Chains A and B, each alone.
Chain A
Amino acid sequence: MNISSLSELPVGRISEVLRLNTSGPMRRRLMDIGLIPNTRVECLGRSPSGDPSAYMIRGAVIALRREDASTVIIKKI
């Protein structure tokens, strides 16, 4: 099973965005930071408090909380 959500992506692994499972302002914001289909995302690390995690998205490092990252459906590569 290579399809899961961004929150389940292990640190150091790269994935590709398939779709977003959310609507409204958050969908807008996630797309705004560049999470549109076929975008490559790498998980760089997790906060020492366990959440959020840092992701490399289009050359920028962005931290997302688990709830939000779980709405991003990805394909591991």
Chain B
Amino acid sequence: MGLTKSSSGAGVLSEIFGRKAASKNEFVVALAGNPNVGKSTLFNSLTGMNRHTGNWPGKTVDIACGSCRRNGMDYSFVDLPGTYSLMTHSAEEEVARGFICFASPDVTLVVCDATCLERNLNLALQIIEMSPRVVIAVNLMDEAEKKGLSVDCALLSSMLGVKAVPISARKKRNITELFRALEKADMHRADIVRYPTEIERAVAMIEPDIKYLLPEELSPRWVALRLLEDDGKTISEIEENIGVNLSGDSALSSSLLRAKEYLASCRMTGEVFHDAIVSSVVRTAERTASKVISIKKQDYDALDRKIDSVITSKPFAYPLMLLLLGFILWLSITGANYPSRLLSNVLFGFEDVLAGVFHSLNAPQWLTGLLVFGMYRVLAWVVSVMLPPMAIFFPLFTLLEDVGYLPRIAYNLDGFFKKCDACGKQALTACMGLGCNAAGVVGCRVIDSPRERLMALLTNCFIPCNGKFPTIIALISMFFVPHGNFLSSVLPTLMLTGAILLGITMMFAATKLLSKTILKGIPSSFTLELPPYRRPEVGKVIVRSVFDRTLFVLARAAAVAAPAGMVIWLMANTELGGVSLLNICSSFLDPFAKLMGLDGVILMAFILGFPANEIVVPIIIMAYMAGGTITEAASIMEMKALFVQNGWTWVTALCTMLFSLMHWPCSTTLLTIKKETGSLKWACISVLLPTSFGVISCILVSSICKMFI
């Protein structure tokens, strides 16, 4: 984690989140738990909108921090990545383990799913072993009751030695009690999980020598086990973060040597040792769960199994996925039409007001042009074109995520990914990419194998994101849809679905290509959990996805669109020898673009659209009109007339669509790829890969079409 040695508690928060700590008395609570147990719901209901976060919010890939005040106390909650265990070395487990061990939260709150307690206890037991103050929140008690399961939390508390509070995060039930437990949390026993006698003896041999080296916040028992296990990576993490030299301590070294010799004499080494550790935790979870859970209905999960047997079945799985994709796209397109028009009327109306203000202030012509007709116009276009479909798409996507459908998509598609030597979880990141490729790239962290993660990361922008939809839809409506009948409402959706399917096919092709060339390797093993289905909370989903995702992505697009608007205006209005810079550039690109079935202006628009894909069509219109600024959203037929005047045919439209589907990632995505891979080389490959696919397919399609026309 790279925390400085002195930092702890509230100090760490200011270091991670770049904010100043509220006070020294701030009470820091780390939220840990398996994925999909309502951890984020709890986090949101505790902290509201009052939070700071690094990357893609809404999904806890990065850690988010939020605060609240209760009973005169300042609380900070840190939402750690959801993990099933803390024993392996995936990125998410390392972040969670690092925070729990080294950031010294006042309490670690482990959120468990009452409907799947045994599995959740595995993590809870590991955290109890490593962290001195723990509270367990048994969430989804209402769901469990409905399924005929009951959990005896009093018994659970006494068995684990830490307070277990039954809650329902979505209904905000028992939250007061949860806070009381957090305040009262005190040092507890670390030896709830008992290991075979040989291991316990070895731990006892070295624990006294470890104890005085460690701060109170780190359990010596846990460190002893890591030392005996020879877990070098964790040990160096400990040494780095705590600032102790465990391997250099002479007393510890000699007792550790003795302990290891003893273990060797009992043949408790290597795999046998590992096995004993893991099985002891699993068995303790099993024993605990069997005592505290009473099952009233044996087939409590019958409904889930029935749903699974339909949506993952051979005849229905793929048609259902297609239908769902088509439906979401249709809803995003048709539902967005009216608000889009309304927004653009309002925003472009305001442009005249703005220009008037500039005029009355006697602002120079170029300033008005740059700020109003350059920056504001592009901004207005991006907002009115992007906001409505996103405001529909993201809540729908979040809904599917909440219900538990996304892992089923990964399950259904894994066979295809395996054929490309890739990981099935790439399906999840591809789904995210439909919303925003940068988000999809960050989402690739869920893939453990570095090779497979890179493949998912480099191919994510083959999935057209929201920002490309308007371009593709505009081209479809102009050139491929007969107007005036009912087909004109359904056909664009069908064709967009087709375009996305083509994108997905190309993603598979690119993944396969990578796995056969620069990223050779065999698929690593993976486990994919299919969580129980949950009834989503529609209201909260809408609020969360609008605030966390829609506005976040929109703000990012706006931030890059504004300067882009100015650059475009400058290029269109700076003349060299009577010709605008924009025209000079586009005539330069023209010969090559023609080869691809495009023209110089279109290719130029894609290059200028690097900050945001949404502005490609507006730039084309602007360049054709030679007006020097992006025009208002004229009617589709006027746009078509303009395009046809400039030599467009359906082949041009087809090639433009293909290139829109496959070219370099947008600036935000590229920056994210650079950040995630930490290497310029992979960032360059992420540009070259889709661009070469795009160029080649455009040249192929246009030359084939030319042969027949």
Taking Cβ atoms with an 8 Å cutoff, the residues of A that contact B are 23, 25-34, 36-37, 44-45, 47-52, 54, 58-65, 67-68
Closest beta carbon of chain A to B126's beta carbon, Å:
10
Q: Tell me which residues from 76 to 93 in chain B have a Cβ below 8 Å from any Cβ of chain A.
A: 84-85, 87-89
- The reply to whether A47 and B415 contact each other, CB–CB distance below 8 Å, is yes
Q: Which residues of A contact B309 (CB under 8 A)?
A: 45
Q: Is the CB of A61 within 8 A of B87?
A: no
Residue interface bits B33-47, CB-to-A below 8 A is 1, else 0: 000000000000000
In the complex, what residues of A have CB within 8 A of residue B119's CB?
33-34, 58-60
Binds A, one of B274-282, B478-486, B644-652: B274-282
Instruction: Write the nearest CB–CB distance from B704 to chain A, whole angstroms.
Output: 32
Instruction: Check if B278 sits within 8 Å of A54, measured CB to CB.
Output: no
**CB atoms of B308 and A45 under 8 A apart:** yes
Contacts of B264-301 to chain A: CB distance below 8 A:
271, 274-275, 278-279, 282-283, 285-286, 289
13 further contact pairs, Cβ within 8 A, besides A29-B88, A36-B275: A25-B88, A31-B275, A32-B278, A36-B279, A51-B414, A54-B530, A58-B286, A61-B529, A62-B529, A65-B418, A65-B523, A65-B525, A67-B523
Whether A28 and B278, one on each chain, are in contact in the complex, defined by CB atoms closer than 8 angstroms, is yes
The answer to whether the Cβ of B129 comes within 8 Å of any Cβ in the partner chain is: no
Contacts of A27 in B (CB 8 A): 271, 274-275
Are A63 and B411 closer than 8 Å at their CB atoms? yes
In the bound complex, how far is the Cα of B683 from the Cα of A48, in angstroms?
35
Q: Is B7 on the interface with A (CB-CB < 8 A)? A: no
Return the chain B residue nearest A54 by Cβ.
Answer: B530
Interface size of B by Cβ–Cβ distance < 8 Å? Answer: 46
Given that A28-B88, A34-B282, A36-B283 are contacting pairs, would A48 and B527 also be in contact in the complex, using a CB cutoff of 8 Å? Answer: no
Is the CB–CB distance between B411 and A52 below 8 Å? yes
Given contacts A28-B278, A44-B305, A54-B308, contact A49 B528 (CB under 8 A): no
Q: Which residues of A contact B117 (CB under 8 A)?
A: 59
Q: How far is the CB of A19 from chain B (nearest CB, A)?
A: 10
What is the CA–CA distance of A61 and B309 in the complex, to the nearest angstrom? Answer: 13
Whole-angstrom distance between the alpha carbons of A26 and B87 in the complex? 12
Assess whether A49 is in contact with B413, with CB atoms less than 8 Å apart: yes
User: Are A59 and B118 in contact, CB atoms less than 8 angstroms apart?
Assistant: yes
| Interface residue ranges of B41-60 to A (CB < 8 Å) | none
Q: Provided the pairs A32-B278, A52-B414 are in contact, do residues A68 and B116 lie with their beta carbons within 8 angstroms?
A: no
State how many angstroms separate the Cβ of A67 from the closest Cβ of chain B.
7
CB nearest to A34 among chain B residues: B282
If A51-B418, A65-B418 touch, whether A29 touches B312 (CB-CB below 8 Å) is no
What total of A-B pairs shows CB separation below 8 Å? 122
A interface majority secondary structure:
mixed
- Minimum C-beta distance from B412 to chain A (A): 6
Could you mark each residue 107-150 of chain B with 1 if its beta carbon is under 8 Å from any beta carbon of chain A, else 0?
00000000011110010000000000000000000000000000
CB distance from A54 to the nearest CB of B (A): 6
Q: Across the interface, do B286 and A32 meet the contact criterion of CB distance under 8 Å?
A: no
Chain A residues, Cβ within 8 Å of B530: 54, 61-63
Of the candidate stretches B182-190, B313-321, B601-609, the one touching chain A is B313-321
CA distance A32 to B286 in the complex (A): 12
Instruction: Return the 10 tightest CB-CB contacts between A and B, nearest first.
Output: A49-B415, A48-B317, A31-B278, A63-B528, A61-B530, A60-B119, A68-B525, A36-B279, A48-B314, A26-B525
Give the distance in Å from the alpha carbon of A49 to the alpha carbon of B85 in the complex.
29
A29 touches B525 (CB 8 A): yes
- Indicate which residue in B118, B271, B289, B411 contacts A54 across the interface (CB closer than 8 Å): B411
A32 touches which one: B89, B122, B411 (CB < 8 A)? B122
Q: List 12 A-B contacts (CB under 8 A).
A: A25-B89, A28-B87, A28-B274, A32-B84, A33-B119, A34-B118, A48-B318, A49-B412, A54-B312, A54-B411, A58-B118, A58-B285
Residues of chain A within 8 A of B492, CB atoms compared: none
State in angstroms the CA–CA spacing of A25 and B530 once bound together: 21
Instruction: Report Cα–Cα, A34/B274, bound state, in Å.
Output: 14
A60 to B528, CA, bound (A): 11
Give min CB distance, A18 to chain B, whole Å: 13
Would A48 and B278 count as touching, CB distance under 8 A? Answer: no
- CA of A33 to CA of B528, assembled, Å: 10
Query: Is B416 among interface residues, defined by CB-CB distance under 8 A?
Result: yes
A65–B279 contact, CB under 8 A? no
Chain A residues within an 8 Å CB radius of B118:
34, 58-60
- CA A51 – CA B525 in complex, angstroms? 13
Asked if A64 meets B527 with Cβ closer than 8 Å, knowing A27-B274, A36-B283, A48-B314, the reply is yes
A47 to B523, CA, bound (A): 18
* A23 vs B117: C-alpha distance when bound (angstroms): 28
Are B414 and A33 interface neighbours, CB within 8 A?
A: no
Q: Is B424 part of the binding interface, using a Cβ–Cβ cutoff of 8 Å?
A: yes
Chain B residues whose C-beta falls within 8 Å of the C-beta of A45 in the assembled complex: 308-309, 312-313
Determine whether the beta carbon of B527 is less than 8 Å from that of A68: yes
Asked if B278 and A60 sit within 8 Å, CB to CB, the answer is no
Chain B 625-657, CB-CB to A under 8 Å as 1, else 0, gives 000000000000000000000000000000000
B residues in contact with A68, CB < 8 Å: 525-527
- Distance of A66 Cα from B233 Cα, bound (Å): 30
Contacts of A51 on B, CB cut-off 8 Å?
414-415, 418
Q: How far is the CB of B153 from chain A (nearest CB, A)?
A: 18
A32 touches B274 (CB 8 A): no
A47 and B414 contacting across the interface, CB-CB below 8 Å: yes
Chain B residues near A31: list those with CB within 8 A: 274-275, 278-279, 282
Taking the nearest CB of chain A, how far is it from the CB of B573, in angstroms?
A: 55
In the complex, the answer to whether B525 meets A33 with C-beta atoms within 8 Å is no
Q: Which B residues lie within 8 Å of A47 (CB)?
A: 312, 317, 411-412, 414-415
Are B527 and A29 in contact, with the CB atoms below 8 A? yes
CB distance from A2 to the nearest CB of B (A): 23
- Given A27-B271, A34-B119, A65 and B414 touching (CB < 8 A)? yes
A32 CA / B119 CA spacing, docked (Å)? 9
With both beta carbons as reference points, the residue of chain B lying nearest to A36 in the complex is identified as B279
A34 to B118, CA, bound (A): 9
Whose C-beta in chain A lies nearest to the C-beta of B415? Answer: A49
A49 to B119, CA, bound (A): 27
Instruction: Give B594-621 interface residues, CB cut-off 8 Å to A.
Output: none
- A20 to chain B: closest residue by CB: B275
Q: Are B271 and A23 in contact (CB under 8 A)?
A: yes
B282 and A36 form a contact (CB under 8 A): yes
Chain B, Cβ-Cβ closest to A11: B309
Distance in Å from the Cβ of A37 to the closest Cβ of chain B? 8
Tell whether, in the assembled complex, residue A62 and residue B527 are in contact, meaning their CB atoms are under 8 Å apart: yes
B residues within 8 A CB of A60?
116, 118-119, 529, 531
Contact A48-B313, Cβ < 8 Å, known A32-B84, A65-B525:
yes
List of A residues within 8 angstroms of B529 by Cβ: 60-63
- Residue of A27, A33, A50, A67 most packed against chain B (CB within 10 A): A33
